[in-house]
Amino acid sequence: MTTQLFNGVDHIMVRVEKTEPLLALFSDRFSLPTSWPLQHMEFATYAWITLGNTNLEFWAAADNSDLPAEQSLPLFSGFALDPPSLSDSIEVLAKRGIACKTPWAFVTPGRNGERVTNFTNAVILDVSTSTCCVFFCEWGIDGTIFPWTGKLTAQDRRLREQHQFDQCGGGPLGVIRLSEITMVSPDLERATQHWQAITGQASETFDLGRGIALTLHAGKKVEITSIVLAVKSLAVARDFLGSQSMLGNDREDEISIGANVCPDLCIRLKEVS
């Protein structure tokens, strides 16, 4: 029996110069719910949009020196996997020959002066680079930074976000969920082997859970080249984007959001039955 190392994709990181334009695009024009309202912190300005089965995190760092000097923004800079047990997942990956960085916890003062853990991250080194970070993210229930009240488990938070998303009806695009993440690597064979070890799946397209597939292709560097939103009707989504002058590539079986409103981010839309 294969050990389950993660339940799904907790969130996709989108590094941006400014958070507000993309937040407004997704929340105001696409009418998708904000799962984490806009936050202005010393280290970053950020906000989350929920897609029901995962979240998009728009992150404008105060300092981008962790990125290569030539890297432009916006950028799909990675995604977080939601582990049932962070320590167990790291241990199993080590046995499979996949290295993780030492876990790092974001700790803040609690309401009674105690130190509480908001979340703990561990980067999966073998599939990560400076511009594309894949990591485990284990959330605490006693944290002080959360936009929700009460002590929510990871499952509680997922139900909360799914309810938020269901209430919006998918917005004018008719979004159902995130359905695909597409990545490229200069060593496709090695990348495939790594993801087979991480997922325990002997395939070339990987099920990341909650209806999200990971597709790998050959490319010049490790990066996320696109994400796919599943929609109820491609015709309806096409008409809406066209009426708003936001239609990008237009094919019979898929369309994309135009670069005029979503520069450097390839967001494709496909109809699912």
Entry pTM: 0.96
Q: Compute CA distances 148 → 88, 226, 255, whole Å.
A: 28, 30, 35
* pLDDT score at 2: 63
> Are 128 and 191 within 8 A, CB to CB?
no
* pLDDT score at 111: 79
* pLDDT score at 202: 93
From CA 81, how far away is CA 9, in angstroms rounded?
5
From CA 144, how far away is CA 64, in angstroms rounded?
25
Q: Give every CB contact of residue 113 below 8 A, 6+ residues apart in sequence.
A: none
Q: Which domains, and CATH codes, for the chain?
A: 9-271 (3.10.180.10)
- Taking the chain (273 residues) in runs of 10, the rounded mean pLDDT of each run is 86 98 98 97 96 98 95 97 97 98 95 90 98 97 88 91 95 98 98 97 94 98 98 98 98 97 96 86
From CA 130, how far away is CA 223, in angstroms rounded?
10
Helix (H, G, I), strand (E, B) or coil at 168: helix
* pLDDT score at 149: 81
Give the dihedral sign, CA 63/67/68/71: negative
- Which tokens sit at 109? 């003062």
